A and B are shown apart, each in its own frame.
Chain A
Amino acid sequence: MATQNTKTLARLMMAPAVIVLLVWMVVPLAMTLWYSFQNYNLLTPQNVSFAGFFNYVYFYTDPAFFESIWNTLVLVLGVLLITVIGGIAIALLIDQPIFGQGIVRILVISPFFVMPPVAALIWKNMIMHPGYGVLADVARFFGAQPVDWFAQYPLFSIIIIVAWQWLPFATLILLTALQSLDSEQKEAAEMDGANAFNRFIYLTLPHLSRAITVVILIQTIFLLGIYAEILVTTNGGPGYASTNLTFLIYRTARLGYDVGGGAAGGIIAVVLANIVAIFLMRAVGKNLDR
């Protein structure tokens, strides 16, 4: 286990994965950093020149930048709110003694396996479509005017779709955590005279806190990068109303062919993601010390 031979061998076996990931991390990131200081447009690739901080200033002073930051925040927080609260509620519900628990579980986690473009298109066309969607049918049934979700509430609609995709993840993790709660602890609390509500507040919730942290942090990482759902539903619009930072960078770089501007945006996205990452690493890192 800890002899010199095995140690050397261990390093050799680790090397390929480490080297591949190192290259994968360093090379593109360095290139992004380089491009972010260049005037570089894919339409005029012959005119590349040093731009200083122009790209950053340009990106920073673009009104769409602040709108997209705001949209990113609303999107992330909105989805987190729905999935964490909904996830706790549904996990508690499934954890009750019910008939057909296995099937209920399968039904609840299913949306997580639906690829983002499919999820977005089902919601866009079959559920939220102002003419033919189920919600429009429901509205008409009650004699109300159907809502044109993606025109009137574009960001909210995307939040609903993304929350639907991630609710299963939150539920599944919280349910797993819930089921690891020692039943003797619950019984002890009952003997101590705690009612169901107190048991939830003083026993269940603290027990879940770690799982909730993990859910929040991991979802945040993925939610910062929401892309396909926006692409197939609103395409960022109307205007910039449903453009998040990821989508703005995509727009700048791929639709506007502005390599420098997109790169500057990318660096900003890295900084934001790193802030979240630091917290996530701490939470996961603690687990290693067990």
Chain B
Amino acid sequence: MARTVTRGSKIGWTIAAWVVALLIFFPILYAFITSLKTEPEAIAGFSLIPSGTFENYVTVQTQRDYFKPFMNSVVLSIGSTILALLFAIPAAWSMAFSPTKRTKDILMWMLSTKMMPAVAVLIPIFILFRNFGLLDTRIGLTVMLTLINLPIVVWMLYTYFREIPGEILEAARMDGASLWKEIVYVLTPMAVPGIASTLLLNIILAWNEAFWTIQLTTTNAAPLTAFIASFSSPQGLFWAKLSAASTMAIAPILILGWFSQKQLVRGLTFGAVK
């Protein structure tokens, strides 16, 4: 609304919004602050001023080998995302540009697979993984994460592809482009922003997936979710170290997330809200 806002009301709203925002953000902030405290400081009562030590970060790496689950998370989230894109790009492409009467049904059906509760297939998946020697392997978990996120990836790509006007592809066809050239010169350059957003959101989802990653791994392939969950039984003084591990586990994805706000809405609502 193009209108002047009184300075007073704007300041009032600003204060209210910042108070709410800081309250919501507080647990994350406090974990970060605690990670910079010594263990005795961490349990010495409320304080927002740490002594500023980085020793917890070092300890988490030396004692618990933080780098290993971190790399597992990186490999799993990126690997499963790329795998999902390989399946999803051709599927979404054909559904967006060559829709048939059944396209809608197929999309809805894909969505429905996402609604199957994970726990319902826990037993067969666990037994299959055990029998095929996939338990606690990166490959097994990558396939798993690909499967559970594939419907979202197809949907997101579909909503992006659908926004590319069909007339442009027809123009390319009139201009004598073969299907291959059409994909290389026309479709791909126009689809790159959508694919990038999909990639980003799916990495976030895969990074934070905390059912299968915990169920199907123990040590070798355990990503950060399983690593952090193993902290649930406290041994001695560990508040600050837990905070350091937590900070490192969420920081990369938090930053990615800030860049993908808009895509997040679209991806998680299957294009229903943009």
Query: B-contacting residues of A (Cβ < 8 Å)?
Result: 1-2, 6-7, 9-11, 13-14, 16-18, 20-21, 24-25, 27-29, 31-32, 35, 90, 93-94, 96-101, 103-119, 121-127, 131-132, 134, 137-138, 164, 167-169, 172-173, 176-177, 180, 183, 186-187, 210-211, 214, 218, 221, 224-225, 227-228, 231-233, 235, 245-246, 249-250, 253-254, 259, 262-263, 265-267, 269-270, 272-274, 276-277, 280-281, 283-285, 287-288
Contacts and interface: CB of A to CB of B under 8 A. Distances in A.
B194 to A, nearest CB: 17
B229 A231 contact: yes
A18 B106 contact: yes
A1 B128 contact: no
Contacts of B128: 28, 31
A17 B111 contact: no
Main secondary structure of the interface of B (DSSP, over half): helix
Nearest to A15: B91
A280 B264 CA distance: 18
Interface residues of B, number: 102
Contacts of A1: 97-98, 166, 169-170, 173
Contacts of A115: 207-208, 210, 224-225, 228, 249-250, 253
B119 A249 contact: yes
Contacts of B116: 25, 29, 270, 273
A285 B10 contact: no
A233 B121 CA distance: 24
Contacts of A225: 117-119, 211
Contact of A122 (B31, B98, B111, B265): B31
Nearest to B153: A17
Contacts of B110: 17-18, 21
Contacts of B88: 17
Contacts of B17: 93-94, 96, 98, 101, 104
Contacts of A17: 87-88, 90-91, 110, 150, 154
